[in-house]
């Protein structure tokens, strides 16, 4: 192989690698989240967003219907180190931070875009940046007492 061909081949390989890098960078760099549904299904959200109807979506597609909060067991940040997944049913929403700290109380979401956003719990505003899990409360439904057939 001549020196000119070798140089052209090397430049071509470097050029192709550069294009691959540009394509990968264009994907965003946001964190991926897992949406764990009550029925046991896990859906990857890349990026996690909330649409105008207050439903969580898993992409940037504006036509995506999304998932209603009442159908979601928890949201989990996809990072290398997470505390254990919270077990059990809770009467209030639970936030677990990356360092394992927990807090209970109703969670309100504001501006969830590109896997980041602001949430409020117990009057405290925080970002999703240090959140590992948000487990939603699903209180047991009260059953009406049975009426006896006797008069």
Average pLDDT over residues 77-97: 88
Cα-based torsion angle of the residue sequence 121, 58, 117, 130 in order, rounded to the nearest 10 degrees: 70
For residue 115, is pLDDT > 90?
no
Of 22-31, 35-44, 59-68, 120-129, the one with minimum mean pLDDT is 22-31
- Strands 124-127 and 131-135, by their bridges, are unpaired
Q: Model-level pTM greater than 0.75?
A: no
């Amino acid at each position: 192989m001549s020196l000119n061909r070798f140089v052209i081949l090397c430049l071509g390989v470097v050029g192709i690698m550069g294009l691959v890098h540009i394509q990968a960078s264009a994907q965003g760099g946001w964190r991926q989240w897992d949406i764990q549904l009550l029925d046991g299904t896990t859906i990857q959200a890349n990026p996690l967003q909330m649409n105008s109807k207050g439903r969580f979506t898993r992409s940037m597609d504006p036509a995506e219907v999304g998932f209603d909060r009442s159908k979601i067991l928890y949201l989990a940040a996809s990072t290398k180190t997470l505390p254990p997944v919270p077990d059990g049913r809770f009467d209030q929403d639970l936030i677990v931070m990356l360092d394992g700290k927990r807090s209970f109380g109703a969670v309100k979401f504001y501006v969830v875009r590109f896997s980041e956003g602001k949430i409020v719990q117990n009057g405290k505003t925080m970002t999703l940046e240090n959140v590992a899990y948000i487990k939603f409360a699903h209180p047991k439904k009260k059953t009406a007492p049975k009426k006896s057939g006797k008069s």
